[in-house]
Amino acid sequence: MLYVVAWPVLGEADDIALRRLRARYHLTQADMIGPHFTLVFGVPLEREAALRAALEAIERRPFWFMIDRIVRNDLHLFAEPSDGAVELTELYETLNPVPGAIPFQPHITLGLFNHAAEAEQVARIVGRQHLPMTGRIEELALLRREGERLETLATHRLAA
């Protein structure tokens, strides 16, 4: 499967906090991939050429984002940006000409829980201790996932 992600450039303390949260609460992926915004979610390998072309055609400057809310969606915990959400959505729409079944909401997945109450409790603690967080999006990457292995196929630096 193929994915496109936007890599957040964060201050050291924020980067460490997100990595620790993912290591503790998102065990299935924390060792595989660090904090990121997913822009293309698991499409067939046949789309590689089209995704490479779409990435190369993107002409956008790097942009700032601010994560100012932690939300729970069922058993998942997400860090959602306010500033930068429009730009991330525009990138999503560029890379996904046919909208998905679920409306896109830019986020960094922080965790997957067994109980909604636990997710809600962690959301409150994280919100009090770590928000707001600011960062920049400067690079996108096309990734191929095979089992528990991720391979970077291409990167695209946003034009300065």
Length of the chain: 160
Handedness of CA 13, 19, 24, 26 (dihedral sign): positive
**CATH numeric code, 2-157:** 3.90.1140.10
Question: Which single residue is written with the structure tokens 């067994």?
Answer: 114
- Let me know: does 17 contact 138? Beta carbons within 8 Å: no
Buried b (16+ CB within 10 A) or exposed e, 108-123: bbbbebeeeeebeebb
Render pLDDT for 111-128 as a digit per residue (tens, 0 to 9).
999 999 999 999 999 889
- Give the Cα separation of 59 and 62 in Å (integer): 10
Q: Is the pTM of this model over 0.85?
A: yes
Name the residue with higher pLDDT: 101 or 82: 82
Render pLDDT for 7-64 as a digit per residue (tens, 0 to 9).
999 999 999 999 999 999 998 899 999 999 999 999 999 999 999 999 999 999 999 9
- Give the Cα separation of 9 and 15 in Å (integer): 8
Buried b (16+ CB within 10 A) or exposed e, 17-54: bbeebbeebbeeebeebbbbbbbbeebeeebeeebeeb
pLDDT at 21: 94
- Let me know: does 102 contact 125? Beta carbons within 8 Å: no
User: Per-residue pLDDT for 153 more than 90?
Assistant: yes
pLDDT at 107: 97
The total of other beta-carbon atoms located within 10 Å of residue 98's CB is 4
